[in-house]
Amino acid sequence: MSEVLGMMAGMVPVQGSPGGGGAGPRSGHEGGEFEVMYVVDVPVGGAEHPARVAGEDPAELLRAELARIGDSVVVVGGPGDDGSGLWQAHVHTDDPMAAVTVGRATLATLRSARDGHEVGAPSTAGADAALRQVRVRHLPGTHEPGHVPDVAADGAHDARTGASAVVDAPGVVAVTTAPGLVADLARAGAVVLLREASGPPDLTALHRVAVDARASHVALLPGADLREDDVESLRATLRDDGIETLEVLPAVTDLHVAVALAAAQLVEPGAAQRLEAARSALDAARWTHLDTAGVPAPALAQRLTDLLETLLARPGALASVLADDDVPGVALDVLAARATERGAEVVLLRSGRDGGVVTLAVEEPEPVDDDVEVTVEAEG
271-315 pLDDT per residue, tens: 668 889 999 999 999 999 999 999 999 999 999 999 999 999 888
Query: pLDDT higher for 27 or 144?
Result: 144
The CA distance from 190 to 176, in Å, is 11
The CA distance from 182 to 136, in Å, is 7
The CA distance from 279 to 269, in Å, is 16
Mean pLDDT value of segment 238-254: 95
pLDDT at 146: 42
pLDDT at 163: 40
pLDDT at 210: 96
- Please tell me the pTM assigned to this model: 0.80
3-state per-residue secondary structure call for 55-104: CECHHHHHHHHHHHHEEEEEEEEEECCCCCEEEEEEEEECCHHHHHHHHH
Question: Is 223 in contact with 194 (CB distance < 8 Å)?
Answer: no
pLDDT at 199: 77
φ, ψ (nearest 5 deg) of residue 319:
-105, 120
**Is residue 363 scored above 80 in pLDDT?**
yes
Selection from 130, 97, 76 nearest residue 23 by Cα: 97
pLDDT at 271: 65
**Is residue 121 scored above 70 in pLDDT?**
no
pLDDT at 144: 53
The CA distance from 374 to 380, in Å, is 19
DSSP state of 377: P
pLDDT at 108: 81
Looking at domain 286-363, its CATH class is: alpha beta
Angle at 370 between CA 366 and CA 376, to 5 degrees: 110
Count Cα neighbours of 134 within 13 Å in the Cβ-side half-sphere: 24
Task: Indicate the SS3 state at residue 344.
Answer: coil
**From 91-105, 150-164, 236-250, the region with the lowest mean pLDDT:** 150-164
The alpha helices in the chain, defined as continuous H runs, are: 2-9, 58-69, 96-115, 151-154, 182-187, 203-212, 228-239, 254-265, 273-284, 297-311, 329-341
How much is the mean pLDDT over the chain?
79
The CA distance from 63 to 88, in Å, is 11
Task: Report the first-to-last Cα separation within the chain, whole angstroms.
Answer: 43
- Stretch(es) of the chain classified as CATH 3.40.50: 171-281
Mean pLDDT value of segment 108-125: 58
pLDDT at 315: 85
**Is residue 22 scored above 60 in pLDDT?**
no
Mean pLDDT value of segment 50-66: 74
Mean pLDDT value of segment 113-119: 57
pLDDT at 30: 55
The rounded Cα 219 to chain-centroid distance in angstroms is 14
pLDDT at 243: 95
The CA distance from 77 to 127, in Å, is 21
> Which amino acid is it at 15?
Q
Mean pLDDT value of segment 349-355: 96
Selection from 148, 184, 189 nearest residue 274 by Cα: 189
**From 20-29, 159-168, 172-181, the region with the lowest mean pLDDT:** 20-29
Mean pLDDT value of segment 263-277: 79
Question: Is 120 in contact with 101 (CB distance < 8 Å)?
Answer: no
Mean pLDDT value of segment 162-189: 82
**Is residue 160 scored above 70 in pLDDT?**
no
pLDDT at 201: 86
Continuous segment of H or E residues that includes residue 359:
strand 357-363
**From 5-9, 59-63, 262-266, 327-331, the region with the lowest mean pLDDT:** 5-9
377 pLDDT band, cuts 50/70/90, is very low
Mean pLDDT value of segment 251-274: 86
The CA distance from 129 to 86, in Å, is 10
Task: Indicate the SS3 state at residue 171.
Answer: strand
pLDDT at 80: 72
**Is residue 83 scored above 70 in pLDDT?**
no
Give the list of residues 6+ apart from residue 214 with CB closer than 8 angstroms, or none: 152, 155, 156, 164, 165, 166, 167, 171
Query: pLDDT higher for 367 or 316?
Result: 316
Looking at domain 171-281, its CATH class is: alpha beta
Query: pLDDT higher for 89 or 26?
Result: 89
pLDDT at 106: 86
Pairing of strands 217-221, 171-176: parallel
The CA distance from 119 to 109, in Å, is 6
**Is residue 51 scored above 70 in pLDDT?**
no
**Is residue 148 scored above 80 in pLDDT?**
no
pLDDT at 5: 54
**Is residue 204 scored above 60 in pLDDT?**
yes
CATH number of 34-46+54-114: 3.30.1340
- Stretch(es) of the chain classified as CATH 3.30.1340: 34-46+54-114
- Stretch(es) of the chain classified as CATH 3.30.2320: 286-363
pLDDT at 304: 96
Mean pLDDT value of segment 164-172: 66
